Chain A
Amino acid sequence: MGFKMFINKWLVSDSLNSPARKDWKGGFCLDLCDEPAEIQISDLYKDLQRLPVEHPFAILFSGKNSLAQKVNDSYIENIISLFFQPSYFLANDRPVVFLSDKAAWHTGFIEKLSEKCRNQGLSVLLLQTKNGKSIDRPGDQFAYEVTSADISYDAIIENWLSQYLEDKNPREIHFLFGAGEPGLTEILDEIRKKEMELHNTEHYKFANLAYKKQKLIEKYKKELDVKVSAEKSTQLYLSMQKKQTADNVEWYHHEYEILPTWYKRLGHVIKVLMGRRTFRSLFSDKAKKYKD
């Protein structure tokens, strides 16, 4: 799930216990560069449970080690289990996965991951990472790997807006910061200043408004889907109940209604004798019929 914002900043580290996380306010992105055995997977799941849902979590395949060797069900299922964690970042119910240039080449792994996700009813959203110099190039959306404060916010927002106006339904904007990046504190300070300026620009205000509108529409669509599904189920259950009622009436007809009247009347007298019905009710509809 994870809380979504128009601009999301991610701290990238190969460990959840990175010291840089202490004062970090944004999302946490786990760089899965290690071999599976090197990650204490059981501890990871337990630690992720303690992350507040408002602090989103995601993964990055940086491709430092070969992903080709990881095309096995067990490794991929370990990844999918991460998507089920409540703090995992989902864009319109799709788990977001960051891919570095190198990792994106491992098509076998990516295809297998996508297929296994589909089998779990999930559609994964893969976002390739680009370095900061690519940001002024309009085109498909990706995540930005930030290594300096040299970010062109204007170009990024304009790019987002143009996609929005072209009905391309652009997603959130993501910035990835390496936890071990030299001078990270200074870079972040610089970026914060730029953001303050950005927030006062008209095109940012418009883009942010458009983004919020987009999220609201998605929320309503989801609520509508739930209601449509509930309505469909109700109709199905209603038809099943109707059938059950019809079956019961038929059963009653064959088991009881078909009997001769004198036999049914005798049955009522037997009920009185057994104490299941009041004597007075045999002669008056107003009398109490059944004994408690």
Chain B
Amino acid sequence: MFALFIHIYNQDSWEKIFKERLKEIQEFSPLILINLCLAHPGNAELISCIRNDFPEAFIITTTNKGRDIGGKLALTDFFMKAELQSDHIIFLHDKQSHHWFAGELWRQKLFEIIEPGKIKAILETYRKHPKTGIIGASEFIRDEHDKKTNEFKTINSIKIKKLISTYDLQLTDHHFVAGAMFWIKSSIIKNFFSIHSALSCREMLEEGNFTDQYEGSYTHSWERIFCFLANDQGYTVNGI
């Protein structure tokens, strides 16, 4: 069984992006956890719509802190505290990427990981290769690490290194899924966040809408850290 952690910032994303996709994968009976951003009025109506379609979905509402990463951490906090059970977690959000012409195309490719056919293939990969920790869309698997300098080729390098040091992550591989949508073994999440609470991790994230175009951020650094957790625990990051 797997759980979907969905962060929704834009009010219309439920109808536009998620509703039909989730209906298509109902045969897998996933656990659905949704975080809505408090910044928008009208959440009550949206919650009614979601519960109408998926009565068993768990919904939380949080502040606009850490963008989708903050939402995913808040969902992780709920998942841990409510002691929900699943073998795998899929992180999703209503990615917009307005700053990039190919933003819409990016999202479509990232969302391929929840196509029914791909889900079967991913579950099979996890079954056959127990050391697989994370699975994301192949073309979004990146490695920014420079072994010679031990720097990351990104504006977030200093903050990434600070987080690696704070959480004492022992890394031999620095691949991550750009776009922060991927499958991850639940045990990786549980192991890490039972030591470092998800809410305490969320505290350091930036508030509001921001990008990492001109300045590094803890939020964008956490996009990498989520994937590094797998390597720290002896698992791999794979593409599909």
Binding site for B on A (CB under 8 A): 1, 3, 41-42, 45-46, 49, 53-54, 73-74, 77-78, 80-81, 84-86, 90, 93, 116, 119-122, 219, 222-223, 225-226, 229, 232-234, 236-237, 240-241, 244
When the two chains form their complex, are residues A42 and B81 in contact, meaning their CB atoms are under 8 A apart?
Answer: yes
In the complex, A9 Cα to B101 Cα: how many Å? Answer: 52
The secondary-structure label for the interface of chain B is mixed
The one of B74, B101, B200 that contacts A84, using a Cβ cutoff of 8 Å: B74
The one of B39, B61, B63, B100 that contacts A226, using a Cβ cutoff of 8 Å: B39
Nearest chain B residue, comparing its CB with the CB of A82? B81
When the two chains form their complex, are residues B77 and A81 in contact, meaning their CB atoms are under 8 A apart?
Answer: yes
In the complex, A292 Cα to B29 Cα: how many Å? Answer: 43
Given contacts A49-B59, A80-B199, contact A229 B81 (CB under 8 A): no
When the two chains form their complex, are residues A77 and B199 in contact, meaning their CB atoms are under 8 A apart?
Answer: yes
20 A/B residue pairs, CB under 8 Å, sorted by A: A1-B43, A42-B83, A45-B78, A45-B82, A49-B59, A81-B81, A84-B62, A84-B74, A84-B77, A86-B44, A86-B59, A93-B38, A120-B63, A120-B65, A219-B41, A229-B209, A236-B99, A237-B98, A240-B213, A244-B101
Residues of chain B in range 20-60 having any CB-CB distance to chain A below 8 Å = 36, 38-41, 43-44, 47-48, 58-60
Nearest chain A residue, comparing its CB with the CB of B213? A240
CB neighbours of B209 from chain A (8 A)? 229, 232-233
In the complex, A222 Cα to B101 Cα: how many Å? Answer: 29
Q: How far is the CB of B205 from chain A (nearest CB, A)?
A: 9
Asked if B233 is at the interface (CB within 8 A of a chain A CB), the reply is: no
When the two chains form their complex, are residues A86 and B61 in contact, meaning their CB atoms are under 8 A apart?
Answer: yes
CB neighbours of B43 from chain A (8 A)? 1, 86
The one of A53, A54, A84 that contacts B78, using a Cβ cutoff of 8 Å: A84
Q: How many residues of B contact A (CB 8 A)?
A: 37
In the complex, A241 Cα to B99 Cα: how many Å? Answer: 6
CB neighbours of B98 from chain A (8 A)? 233-234, 237
Q: How far is the CB of B68 from chain A (nearest CB, A)?
A: 14
In the complex, A237 Cα to B99 Cα: how many Å? Answer: 4
CB 8 Å contact bits of B65-101 with A (1 = contact, 0 = none): 1000000001001100111000000000000001111
CB neighbours of A223 from chain B (8 A)? 41
CB neighbours of A3 from chain B (8 A)? 44
10 closest residue pairs by CB, A with B: A121-B63, A121-B65, A237-B98, A42-B83, A119-B203, A240-B99, A45-B82, A237-B99, A84-B60, A77-B199
When the two chains form their complex, are residues A78 and B81 in contact, meaning their CB atoms are under 8 A apart?
Answer: yes
Binding site for A on B (CB under 8 A): 36, 38-41, 43-44, 47-48, 58-65, 74, 77-78, 81-83, 98-101, 197, 199-200, 202-203, 207-209, 211, 213
CB neighbours of B207 from chain A (8 A)? 121
By CB atoms of chain A within 10 A, which of B47, B199, B202 has the most? B199
By CB atoms of chain A within 10 A, which of B64, B98, B101, B208 has the most? B98
In the complex, A223 Cα to B64 Cα: how many Å? Answer: 15
Q: How far is the CB of B103 from chain A (nearest CB, A)?
A: 9
Q: How far is the CB of A251 from chain B (nearest CB, A)?
A: 15
CB neighbours of B203 from chain A (8 A)? 116, 119-120
When the two chains form their complex, are residues A120 and B99 in contact, meaning their CB atoms are under 8 A apart?
Answer: no
When the two chains form their complex, are residues B60 and A42 in contact, meaning their CB atoms are under 8 A apart?
Answer: no
Having A84-B74, A93-B63, one finds 7 other A-B pairs with CB under 8 Å, namely: A54-B44, A73-B197, A120-B199, A121-B65, A229-B208, A229-B209, A241-B99
The one of B47, B64, B82, B211 that contacts A86, using a Cβ cutoff of 8 Å: B47
The one of B39, B48, B101 that contacts A53, using a Cβ cutoff of 8 Å: B48
When the two chains form their complex, are residues A84 and B61 in contact, meaning their CB atoms are under 8 A apart?
Answer: yes
In the complex, A280 Cα to B213 Cα: how many Å? Answer: 45
The one of B40, B74, B81, B213 that contacts A41, using a Cβ cutoff of 8 Å: B81
When the two chains form their complex, are residues B199 and A222 in contact, meaning their CB atoms are under 8 A apart?
Answer: no
CB neighbours of A73 from chain B (8 A)? 197, 200
CB neighbours of A225 from chain B (8 A)? 39
In the complex, A116 Cα to B65 Cα: how many Å? Answer: 14
When the two chains form their complex, are residues A81 and B63 in contact, meaning their CB atoms are under 8 A apart?
Answer: no
Given contacts A45-B82, A219-B41, contact A77 B200 (CB under 8 A): yes
In the complex, A46 Cα to B78 Cα: how many Å? Answer: 9
In the complex, A107 Cα to B152 Cα: how many Å? Answer: 44
Q: How far is the CB of B97 from chain A (nearest CB, A)?
A: 9
Nearest chain B residue, comparing its CB with the CB of A49? B58
Q: How far is the CB of B14 from chain A (nearest CB, A)?
A: 14
